[in-house]
Amino acid sequence: MSSKTTLRTALTVGTLLPVALGLAACGSDDSGSDSGSTTGSSSGGGGGKTIALLLPESKTARYEAQDKPGFEKALKALCADCKVIYSNADQDASKQQSQAESAITNGADVLVLDPVDAESAGAMVTRAKQSKIPVISYDRLISKAPVDYYISFDNLKVGKLQGENLVKALGTPAGKSIVMINGAPTDSNAAMFKKGAHSVLDASGVKIAKEYDTPDWSPDKAQTEMEQAITAIGKGGIDGVYAANDGTAGGAIAAMKGGGIDPTKVPVTGQDAELAGVQRILAGEQYMTVYKAPKPETEAAAKLAYALATGKPAPAGLINGKTNNGSVDVPSVLLDPVAVTKDNIKDTVVADGTYTAAQLCTGKYAKACAAAGLTGTR
Ligand code: BGC
């Protein structure tokens, strides 16, 4: 632990310089990056800091629906005159590189970076370091680079929960066939989900009839993969589908419907508890998802970013582990994921306030909601 102190001190001292640049840049909000935006009041001499939040893609709902608003809200609560430079890279690693560059030019004091490509993101860390700007690796681990902190979930456990629930849904897995739709090969998390899931599935006796890595986590590519699997295996030969997140589950389920497979009879996994995913679970079309509560993740990111921006150490009690990224042991905040099926929607995503019953129980979901004990507006 103490070996990190020197690095941290060196970095935090350096954060004083870019504040001045931030003030200079306040007038022009959007500096040309397509999906970049700036929110919050300018520092106005009140000591407000500038934090860049760089998220990887927009085909998965969580980033725009949960991460961005959650982070902005949490930061505002800590510091009313802090500013967020927000960018979404739309699955494009080089676009993310320019967004990081632009955030640095516009006075970011800290980068909160969720990388499109774990390996190439090291270049952004190097660039940030040149300007003495600390980097928090958000949700996905940036590999082989001197990252300051890492905030995520236990991603191996995410994969295990998916595998365990699929095995449970299959009843007697031995002799049954499944299709595996993994995440993007450029995402370090995807490898962890895959490893965790394999550790359970391989031991269960289930046959993995087809397996795909899905470029960019794209739901449409997942749909194509599932179509190919149905053609290769035959619609009667698929007993279950491992989909790494709700976006890819949505693609797989669309392919199943198009290919004559009833998704209410063939269990499909997911992750993220996105609104559409939870509604599919209510409707019986998706078996499970993994809930990674957005609030603790965005709040931890805001607290750490603010501490780093103001030259303070990580708030007490926040760091609960270390994660080696191939170059350093990164002090980490690792949160606990939870499996969600029809039975515990009420006690997880609704109890937490991530969704109200009213949000979930629209139109055709009303009846299923009543069965799941979800009534009223809260
Ligand atoms: C995140 C998942 C997300 C996926 C696709 C992963 O790194 O942990 O929550 O569904 O990326 O964006």
pLDDT tens digits for 279-306? Answer: 999 999 999 999 999 999 999 999 999 9
Q: Is the CB of 213 under 6 A from ligand 1?
A: no
The pLDDT value recorded for residue 26 is 33
Please give the backbone phi and psi of residue 178, each rounded to the nearest 5 degrees, phi first.
-130, 165
Distance CA 300, CA 107 (A): 22
At residue 36 the predicted structure's pLDDT band, cuts being 50, 70 and 90, is: low
Q: Whose CA is closest to 63, among 253, 301, 339?
A: 301
State the chain's mean pLDDT as an integer: 90
User: Which amino acid residue places its CA nearest to atom 6 of ligand 1?
Assistant: 189
Q: Edge to edge, what strands does the sheet with 83-88 contain? A: 37-39, 83-88, 50-55, 110-113, 135-138, 149-153, 329-335, 321-324
Instruction: Looking at the CA of residue 247, tell me the nearest atom of ligand 1.
Output: 10
Residues 52-66, mean pLDDT to the nearest whole number: 97
Same topology, domains 12-153+294-335 and 155-291+339-371? Answer is yes
* Torsion angle (degrees, nearest 10) of CA 264, 269, 275, 281: 30
Q: Which CATH number fits domain 12-153+294-335: 3.90.1150.10, 3.40.50.2300, 3.10.20.740, 3.20.20.70?
A: 3.40.50.2300
Burial class (CB in 10 A: 0-12, 13-18, 19+), 169: middle
Nearest CA, atom 10, ligand 1: 245
Distance 78 CA to ligand 1 centre (A): 26
Give me the pLDDT at residue 40, please: 54
Is the pLDDT reported for residue 178 higher than 50? Answer: yes
Does the Cβ of 187 fall within 6 Å of ligand 1? yes
How far is 130 from 245, CA to CA, in rounded Å?
36
* Rounded distance between C-alpha atoms, residue 251 and residue 153, angstroms: 24
Average pLDDT over residues 146-170: 98
> Does ligand 1 lie within 6 Å of residue 57's CB atom?
yes
How is residue 302 written in tokens?
Answer: 């805001």
Q: Is the pTM of this model over 0.85?
A: yes
* 114 within ligand 1 shell (Cβ under 6 A): no
At 266 the pLDDT is 98
- Ligand 1 contacts CB of residue 217 (under 6 A): yes
Q: How far apart are CA 299 and CA 228, in angstroms?
A: 41
Q: What are the pLDDT digits (tens) for 206-233?
A: 999 999 999 999 999 999 999 999 999 9
DSSP string, 117-143: STTTTHHHHHHHHHTT--EEEESSPPP
Q: Is the CB of 274 under 6 A from ligand 1?
A: no
Architecture of domain 155-291+339-371: 3-Layer(aba) Sandwich (3.40)
Distance 343 CA to ligand 1 centre (A): 24
Q: Does 42 score more than 70 pLDDT?
A: no
Domain edges within the chain? 12-153+294-335, 155-291+339-371
| pLDDT of residue 1 exceeding 80 | no
Q: How confident is the model at residue 57 (pLDDT cuts 50, 70, 90)?
A: very high
Among protein residues, the one with the nearest Cα to ligand 1's atom 9 is 272
**Residue of 125, 95, 104 whose CA lies nearest to 113:** 125
Cα gap 133→16, rounded to integer Å? 9
Does the pLDDT of residue 3 top 60, yes or no?
no
Q: Rounded mean pLDDT of 22-28?
A: 33
Asked if 95 and 33 touch (Cβ cutoff 8 Å), the reply is yes
pLDDT digits (tens, 9 = 90+) for 109-130: 999 999 999 999 999 999 999 9
Could you tell which of 91, 153, 245, 290 is best to mutate to test the pocket of ligand 1, judged by most ligand atoms within 8 Å of the CB? Answer: 245
